[in-house]
Chain A
Amino acid sequence: MTGTSPTGTPERRRGARRSGTTATRVAFGAGGVLLVVVAWELYKAIGPATGVMIGDLTVLPRTTDLAMPHVWDMIGRLFEQSGNGRNAQPVWLAVAQAAVFTLGVAAVGWVVGVVVGMLLAILMQRFRTAESAVLPWIVLSQTVPLIAIAPLVRRWGAQLEFGDFTWESWMSVAIIASYLAFFPVSIGALRGLNSPDAIHVELFRSYGVGWWKTLFTLRLPASVPYLLPALRLAAANAVIGTVVAEVSIGLRGGIGRMIIEFAQQASGDPAKTWAPIFGAIAVGLVAAGFIALLGVLLRRFRRGEVPA
């Protein structure tokens, strides 16, 4: 087994090395953020206060402080107090706590989603009948609006009780996150598990290798290039699912609820409403970073990655 890998994809070096050192890449990243800030402030400075209209349709937003606060106001607001009495703390701290909470719930949802998605994919790979029977339902499951199922999941969960275990609202949110996260994993993993060339599968068969061993030594390693983009999508879905479900059922402690709470104060304190949005971005970045880390751990199998 030299020359070609067991995954069947011709071994090739991962492109030409991306040009530039770490420093220049960081500079480019920072430049991108700066560009957004400059574009925001530039439009705010020169755009019409009433926004850009085509007929009666507003195509670009108003440039008032209410609609578009200055970037420095948004950042400055992070270091001022929020709440009062016992809840008083700087906005950035409140947002950071909420972000950690949301990230935790999203991580649980992601893990559950990945496990369920993988199991479904393996089931569908093993039995053709299962694929025909289950795949349409998997696709159909994603057409159910999240806001319709969120309160239901919470109520069903609240009725669960065995022994000392009581269902907490955050678990409902994690379930909803996993509901969104399992989909790309099951589809991506199924493609990945089916990706080995027939010649390799037949080789295994001719050696009399069992299905399980084929799964672990051939199919799973071969699925990694398909799986990683799916896991990345799943992470994004889990974060979005968590935030939306938090809004939907009003779970205390996370970014979702904070977005609503601060939005209610949007008129008198417009800069504050952006704080939880920054928090949501931070959660997304951490989730993406985690998947990148996972990619490094699995780099041995990343031959010819395919978009999901």
Chain B
Amino acid sequence: MKHSTRLTRSRVIGGIGALAATAIVLTGCSSGGSSDSTDSAASGDLTPVSLQLQWFSQAQFAGYYAALDQGFYEDEGLDVTILEGATDIVPIDVLTGGDADYAISWVPKVLGSIEQGAAVTDVAQIFERSGTTQISMKDKNITSAADLKGKTVGSWGYGNEWELFAGMNKAGVKLDDISLVAQAFDMNGFLAGDIDAAQAMTYNEYAQVLETKNPSTGKLFTPDELNVIDWNTEGTAMLQDAIWADSDRLADDSAYADTTVKFIKASIKGWAYARDNAEDAAKIVTASGSQLGESHQLWMTNEVNKLIWPSTSGVGTINQDQWDQTVKIAMDTPNETGATVISEEPPATAFSNEYVEKALSELKDEGVDVMGEGFTPIDVTLKEGGE
């Protein structure tokens, strides 16, 4: 009895020891890749600032990565950490939770949060145009929202559907007239023919199709083989990527308000850099850890530039007419359950041009082109798989 007890203990302890050793070895291996924060300057003079993105690092956020890489934030005295998004991370929740100082998000998605009590302010409307489209194969003959009637229409949902619904609404197509399909990350449903008209961002999914071989020709799909419904021309575009700040802190904390101006200023400088140096900007994003292929990344940089430049009133300015259109669609367009994004006008604090105007005037004094009137997109050739 005594003997067996001792054996028991030593075995158990041995077992636990082996376990612990394995765990330690494994964690030791893992510690290398876990840090996604940027190297923070050791200097104590810089103000630490964190920015929450909507998704993984990709050229959709090229301007912020460029500003970081080129030292524009540091020039303004900011030590910026870029936090990546993920499937279940809601940027506005991170912002209101106090875990980020600024967040990037689409306006219609945030309007709903504001109505539910989130105190956030759109301080710079970086994307002036919408990148959302509905694409279809040429032979389906879908060139406008009215043509969607009777078709299978794809959407990602989660707040990505409003421009589509508003466009259909405007064209007199009811939700019962189409068969709405939930779309996945990839375009396989569209390519397989399950979806007649699929949702596609100009900078991402549209390119994914162009990176795929058409089985009937053996060559990559070309823009000639596709029809595109662009919500900008259909008149139901909604405002997308904007920089959001915490409304309460803007009101009470003058240091935060100053930081906001600096942050916007350096970010716009970053976007100007991405406009003038699209290829370098794409490389900066890739170096930040994005897994997208080289030609896809460059395509995305170029398409995102088109959403910003040329700018109507200086990049970042929230144009009243576009804001009103976004709010109106958010209030008037019901989804398949009859719900709208918001039921009443958002509060006056929902957007403010105060900070971006200060940033723009400082940039103009420094000779930075914030209008981009002469902007011409580059030509990007997509390769198979985006490589």
Contact = CB atoms under 8 A, between A and B. Distances in A.
Interface in B296-315: 296-297
Could you tell me the dominant secondary structure of chain A's interface residues?
helix
A297 B88 contact: no
B147 to A, nearest CB: 23
Interface stretch (B4-12, B102-110, B121-129, B222-230): B4-12
Given A100-B30, A267-B188, A297 B8 contact: no
Interface string B56-88: 100000000000000000000000000011111
Q: Which of B33, B215, B283, B296 is packed against the most chain A CB atoms within 10 Å?
A: B33
Contact of B87 (A6, A168, A260, A265): A260
Contact of A62 (B84, B192, B384): B192
Contact of A155 (B94, B184, B291): B94
Interface in A1-54: 1, 6
Interface string A101-135: 10111011011001000000000000000000000
B386 interface: yes
Given A1-B1, A266-B185, A268-B386, A250 B89 contact: yes
Contacts of A300: 7-8, 11
Interface string A144-155: 000100110011
A287 to B, nearest CB: 10
Could you tell me the dominant secondary structure of chain B's interface residues?
helix
A285 interface: no
B186 A263 contact: yes
A298 B185 contact: no
Q: Which of B23, B34, B93, B188 is packed against the most chain A CB atoms within 10 Å?
A: B34
A216 B4 CA distance: 12
Nearest to A159: B99
Contacts of B199: none
A100 B283 contact: no
B26 A87 contact: no
Interface residues on B, range: 35 or more
Interface residues on A, range: 35 or more
B152 to A, nearest CB: 12
B208 to A, nearest CB: 5
B15 interface: yes
Given A108-B27, A220-B12, A247-B87, A265 B34 contact: no
Given A66-B191, A111-B23, 18 more contacts: A84-B293, A85-B283, A87-B291, A104-B26, A104-B30, A107-B23, A107-B26, A158-B99, A168-B34, A170-B34, A216-B5, A216-B8, A249-B89, A251-B34, A251-B86, A252-B84, A257-B86, A265-B385
Contacts, number: 181
B188 A104 contact: no
B211 A107 contact: no
Interface of B: 1, 4-5, 7-9, 11-12, 14-15, 18-20, 22-23, 26-30, 32-36, 56, 84-90, 93-94, 97, 99, 184-188, 191-192, 204, 208-209, 211-212, 215, 283, 286-287, 289-294, 296-297, 384-387
A85 B56 contact: no
B30 A264 contact: no
Contacts of A307: none
- The 8 A-B pairs of least Cβ separation, nearest first, read A250-B86, A253-B33, A104-B30, A269-B385, A268-B211, A266-B186, A104-B26, A268-B385
Contacts of A82: 291
A142 interface: no
A257 B18 CA distance: 30
A298 B11 contact: yes
30 contacts: A1-B1, A82-B291, A84-B294, A86-B286, A97-B33, A101-B30, A111-B20, A147-B87, A147-B88, A150-B88, A155-B97, A159-B99, A217-B8, A220-B12, A247-B86, A248-B87, A251-B34, A251-B86, A263-B184, A263-B186, A265-B293, A265-B296, A266-B186, A267-B186, A268-B208, A290-B22, A293-B18, A297-B14, A298-B15, A300-B8
